[in-house]
Structure 1
Amino acid sequence: MEENYDVIVLGTGLTECVLSGLLSVEGKKVLHIDRNDYYGGESASLNLTQLYRRFRSGADAPESFGRDRDYNVDLIPKFMMANEELVRVLTHTDVTRYLEFKQIDGSFVYRDGRISKVPANEMEAVTSPLIGLFEKRRLKKFLEFIQNWKDDDASTHNGVDLDRMQMIEVFKKFGLETGTQDFLGHAMALYTDDEFLHRPARETYDRLILYVSSVARYGKSPYIYPLYGLGELPQGFARLSAIYGGTYMLDKPVSEILYDDEGKFKGIRSGDEKAYAKQVIGDPSYFPGKVKTVGRVVRAICLLQHPIPNTGDINSVQLIIPQKQVNRKNDIYIACVSASHNVCAKDYYLAIVSTIVETEIPEKEILPGLQLLGPITEKFVSVSDINVPLEDGTKDQVFISKSYDASSHFVSIMEDIRDIYKRVTGDELVLKRRPRQEEEQASMAAGQVS
Structure 2
Amino acid sequence: MSDLPPYPPLDPTTYDLIIVGTGISESILSAAAASSSSNTSVLHLDPNPFYGSHFASLSLPDLTSFLHSSSSLSPPPPPSSHDHNFLSVNLVNRSLYSSVEITTFDSSIHEDHDSRKFNVDLCGPRVNFCADESINLMLKSGSNNYVEFKSVDASFVGDSSGELRNVPDSRSAIFKDKSLDLMEKKELMTFFKLVQAHLADVATVRINEEDLESPFIEFLDKMELPPKIKSIILYGIAMLDYDQENEEACGGLLKTREGIARLALYITSIGRFSNALGALIYPIYGQGEIPQGFCRRAAVKGCIYVLRMPITALLLDKETGGYKGVRLATGQEIFSQKLILDPCITVESKSMSSLTDQQKETLRVIIPKAISSNGKIARGICIIRGSVKADVSNALVVYPPKSLFPEQLAAIRVLQLGSGLAVCPADMHVLYLSTVCDNDDQGKTALLSAMSTLIRPQVPESLQSDPVVENDTAEAKPVVLWRALYVQELVKGEFGGSISSASSPDGNLNYNEIVKSAIKLYEQLMGSGELFKEDNPTEENDGGAENED
Deviation at 1:440, TM superposition (A): 11
Look up the SS of the partner of 1:284 in the other structure.
coil
Partner of 2:500: 399
CA distance in 2, matches of 1:348, 1:164: 46
Deviates more, 1:298-307 or 1:413-422: 413-422
Unmatched 5+ stretches in structure 2:
1-9, 70-101, 245-249, 347-365, 456-477, 544-549
Structure 1 or 2, whichever has the larger Rg, is: 2
Aligned: 1:42 with 2:54: yes
Deviates more, 1:157-166 or 1:337-346: 157-166
Q: How many residues align?
A: 436
Aligned: 1:24 with 2:12: no
Partner of 2:394: 316
Deviates more, 1:335-344 or 1:323-332: 323-332
1:336 to 1:263, Cα distance in 2 relative to 1, 3 A? farther
Aligned: 1:365 with 2:446: yes
Which whole-Å deviations, capped at 9, do the CAs of 1:33-87 have from their partners, x for residues lacking one?
1111111111111123313434578999854341244221111121111111111
Is the 1:303–1:376 contact (alpha carbons within 8 Å) kept by the matching residues of 2?
yes
Partner of 1:417: 518
Partner of 2:475: none
Partner of 2:483: 379
Deviation at 1:22, TM superposition (A): 1.0
Q: Aligned partner of 1:144: which letter?
A: K
Partner of 2:403: 325
Partner of 2:327: 269
Q: Aligned partner of 2:492: which letter?
A: V
Which of 83, 88, 99 is equivalent to 2:136? Answer: 88
CA distance in 1, matches of 2:117, 2:542: 35
Q: Aligned partner of 2:117: which letter?
A: D
Aligned: 1:235 with 2:292: yes
Aligned: 1:346 with 2:426: yes
Is the 2:199–2:264 contact (alpha carbons within 8 Å) kept by the matching residues of 1?
no
CA distance in 1, matches of 2:220, 2:444: 34
Partner of 1:301: 381
Partner of 2:157: 109
Q: Aligned partner of 1:38: which letter?
A: F
Deviation at 1:151, TM superposition (A): 7.0
Which whole-Å deviations, capped at 9, do the CAs of 1:235-267 have from their partners, x for residues lacking one?
111111111111111111110122334444321
Look up the SS of the partner of 2:435 in the other structure.
strand
Which of 283, 300, 308 is equivalent to 2:342? Answer: 283
> Any residues of structure 2 matched to 1:157-306 within 5 Å, and which?
157-161=206-210, 163-193=212-242, 194=244, 195=250, 198-217=253-272, 220-260=277-317, 261-271=319-329, 272-287=331-346, 289=367, 292-293=371-372, 294-306=374-386
CA distance in 2, matches of 1:413, 1:349: 27
1:212 to 1:6, Cα distance in 2 relative to 1, 3 A? same
Q: Aligned partner of 1:43: which letter?
A: F
CA distance in 2, matches of 1:428, 1:138: 45
Q: Aligned partner of 2:136: which letter?
A: R
Is the 1:122–1:140 contact (alpha carbons within 8 Å) kept by the matching residues of 2?
yes
1:119 to 1:321, Cα distance in 2 relative to 1, 3 A? same
Partner of 1:143: 192
CA distance in 1, matches of 2:166, 2:532: 35
1:49 to 1:174, Cα distance in 2 relative to 1, 3 A? same
CA distance in 2, matches of 1:180, 1:196: 23
Look up the SS of the partner of 1:190 in the other structure.
coil
Give the superposed CA RMSD: 2.8
Partner of 1:67: 114
CA distance in 2, matches of 1:80, 1:196: 26
1:180 to 1:263, Cα distance in 2 relative to 1, 3 A? farther
Q: Aligned partner of 1:210: which letter?
A: L
Which whole-Å deviations, capped at 9, do the CAs of 1:333-363 have from their partners, x for residues lacking one?
1111121111112212111111122445242
1:45 to 1:149, Cα distance in 2 relative to 1, 3 A? same
Higher relative contact order (CA 8 A, sep 6+): 2
Deviation at 1:393, TM superposition (A): 1.5
Determine what percentage of the aligned residue pairs are the same residue.
25
Deviates more, 1:57-66 or 1:293-302: 57-66
Deviation at 1:378, TM superposition (A): 0.7
1:200 to 1:62, Cα distance in 2 relative to 1, 3 A? closer
CA distance in 2, matches of 1:413, 1:340: 27
CA distance in 1, matches of 2:160, 2:263: 23
Deviation at 1:364, TM superposition (A): 1.9
1:278 to 1:163, Cα distance in 2 relative to 1, 3 A? farther
CA distance in 1, matches of 2:112, 2:122: 18
CA distance in 1, matches of 2:108, 2:27: 30
Look up the SS of the partner of 1:370 in the other structure.
helix
Look up the SS of the partner of 1:5 in the other structure.
strand
Which whole-Å deviations, capped at 9, do the CAs of 1:105-127 have from their partners, x for residues lacking one?
11111146311221111343355
Deviates more, 1:15-24 or 1:428-437: 428-437
Partner of 1:100: 148
1:178 to 1:33, Cα distance in 2 relative to 1, 3 A? same
Deviation at 1:269, TM superposition (A): 0.8
1:73 to 1:94, Cα distance in 2 relative to 1, 3 A? same
Deviation at 1:197, TM superposition (A): 7.5
CA distance in 2, matches of 1:154, 1:197: 30
CA distance in 2, matches of 1:250, 1:337: 29
1:278 to 1:172, Cα distance in 2 relative to 1, 3 A? same
CA distance in 2, matches of 1:39, 1:319: 29
Unmatched 5+ stretches in structure 1:
442-450
Partner of 1:436: 538
Partner of 2:528: 427
